[in-house]
Structure 1
Amino acid sequence: MMNICSLASVYDIPRIPHGESFAANIHVTADQSQALIPLVEYLVKWNKGWQFF
Protein backbone atom coordinates (compact mmCIF):
# COMPACT_ATOMS: atom_id res chain seq x y z
CA MET A 1 0.00 0.00 0.00
CA MET A 2 2.85 2.37 0.78
CA ASN A 3 4.41 1.62 -2.63
CA ILE A 4 1.15 2.58 -4.31
CA CYS A 5 1.00 5.77 -2.26
CA SER A 6 4.56 6.67 -3.22
CA LEU A 7 3.94 6.06 -6.89
CA ALA A 8 0.65 8.00 -6.89
CA SER A 9 2.20 10.95 -5.06
CA VAL A 10 4.82 11.33 -7.81
CA TYR A 11 2.01 11.98 -10.31
CA ASP A 12 -0.27 13.87 -7.84
CA ILE A 13 -3.00 11.25 -8.11
CA PRO A 14 -5.37 11.24 -5.12
CA ARG A 15 -6.34 7.88 -3.68
CA ILE A 16 -8.95 6.57 -1.27
CA PRO A 17 -7.99 3.49 0.76
CA HIS A 18 -10.71 0.88 1.12
CA GLY A 19 -11.03 -2.79 1.85
CA GLU A 20 -11.00 -5.19 4.75
CA SER A 21 -8.53 -3.56 7.12
CA PHE A 22 -9.96 -0.25 8.32
CA ALA A 23 -7.18 0.16 10.90
CA ALA A 24 -4.47 -0.19 8.26
CA ASN A 25 -6.26 2.33 6.05
CA ILE A 26 -6.37 4.86 8.90
CA HIS A 27 -2.65 4.41 9.55
CA VAL A 28 -1.76 4.97 5.90
CA THR A 29 -4.07 8.00 5.75
CA ALA A 30 -2.44 9.52 8.83
CA ASP A 31 0.99 9.07 7.25
CA GLN A 32 0.12 10.81 3.96
CA SER A 33 -1.01 14.36 3.23
CA GLN A 34 -4.71 15.20 3.18
CA ALA A 35 -4.44 16.48 -0.40
CA LEU A 36 -3.36 13.04 -1.61
CA ILE A 37 -5.75 10.98 0.56
CA PRO A 38 -8.91 13.06 1.10
CA LEU A 39 -11.19 10.21 2.32
CA VAL A 40 -11.16 6.75 3.86
CA GLU A 41 -13.81 4.24 2.85
CA TYR A 42 -15.15 1.59 5.20
CA LEU A 43 -17.92 -0.98 5.16
CA VAL A 44 -20.85 -0.21 7.46
CA LYS A 45 -22.12 -3.79 7.48
CA TRP A 46 -18.96 -4.88 9.33
CA ASN A 47 -19.35 -2.07 11.86
CA LYS A 48 -23.02 -2.47 12.83
CA GLY A 49 -22.25 -2.13 16.52
CA TRP A 50 -20.42 1.18 16.04
CA GLN A 51 -22.53 2.91 13.38
CA PHE A 52 -24.72 4.82 15.86
CA PHE A 53 -21.82 6.48 17.72
Structure 2
Amino acid sequence: MPHNDMAQLSLWEFTARVDGYGRANGWKTRGAGGDLSESELAEMGIEGF
Protein backbone atom coordinates (compact mmCIF):
# COMPACT_ATOMS: atom_id res chain seq x y z
CA MET A 1 0.00 0.00 0.00
CA PRO A 2 1.51 3.35 -1.02
CA HIS A 3 2.18 6.01 1.60
CA ASN A 4 -0.59 8.26 0.26
CA ASP A 5 -3.15 5.50 0.79
CA MET A 6 -1.89 4.86 4.33
CA ALA A 7 -2.52 8.51 5.21
CA GLN A 8 -6.20 8.08 4.28
CA LEU A 9 -6.82 5.22 6.75
CA SER A 10 -8.68 5.79 9.99
CA LEU A 11 -6.83 5.01 13.20
CA TRP A 12 -8.88 1.83 13.61
CA GLU A 13 -8.04 0.65 10.07
CA PHE A 14 -4.33 1.38 10.55
CA THR A 15 -4.07 -0.47 13.87
CA ALA A 16 -6.02 -3.41 12.43
CA ARG A 17 -3.55 -3.64 9.54
CA VAL A 18 -0.56 -3.46 11.89
CA ASP A 19 -2.10 -6.16 14.11
CA GLY A 20 -2.81 -8.38 11.12
CA TYR A 21 0.71 -7.92 9.78
CA GLY A 22 2.16 -8.78 13.18
CA ARG A 23 0.05 -11.91 13.58
CA ALA A 24 0.95 -13.08 10.07
CA ASN A 25 4.64 -12.60 10.78
CA GLY A 26 4.75 -14.26 14.22
CA TRP A 27 4.95 -11.24 16.49
CA LYS A 28 4.47 -12.23 20.09
CA THR A 29 1.49 -10.51 21.71
CA ARG A 30 0.57 -10.05 25.32
CA GLY A 31 -2.87 -10.52 26.82
CA ALA A 32 -4.94 -7.77 28.35
CA GLY A 33 -2.92 -7.92 31.59
CA GLY A 34 0.47 -7.90 29.94
CA ASP A 35 2.93 -10.22 31.68
CA LEU A 36 0.86 -10.48 34.87
CA SER A 37 -1.02 -13.64 35.74
CA GLU A 38 -4.72 -13.61 36.62
CA SER A 39 -3.90 -14.18 40.30
CA GLU A 40 -1.49 -11.22 40.31
CA LEU A 41 -4.14 -9.02 38.71
CA ALA A 42 -6.73 -10.20 41.27
CA GLU A 43 -4.34 -9.28 44.11
CA MET A 44 -4.26 -5.75 42.73
CA GLY A 45 -8.06 -5.65 42.64
CA ILE A 46 -8.35 -6.07 38.87
CA GLU A 47 -10.81 -8.75 37.82
CA GLY A 48 -12.74 -9.79 34.74
CA PHE A 49 -10.10 -10.99 32.30
Q: Same fold (TM over 0.5)?
A: no
Q: TM-score, normalised by structure 1?
A: 0.28
Q: TM-score, normalised by structure 2?
A: 0.30
**Structure showing greater relative contact order (alpha-carbon pairs closer than 8 Å, 6 or more residues apart):** 1
Q: Which has the higher helix share?
A: 2
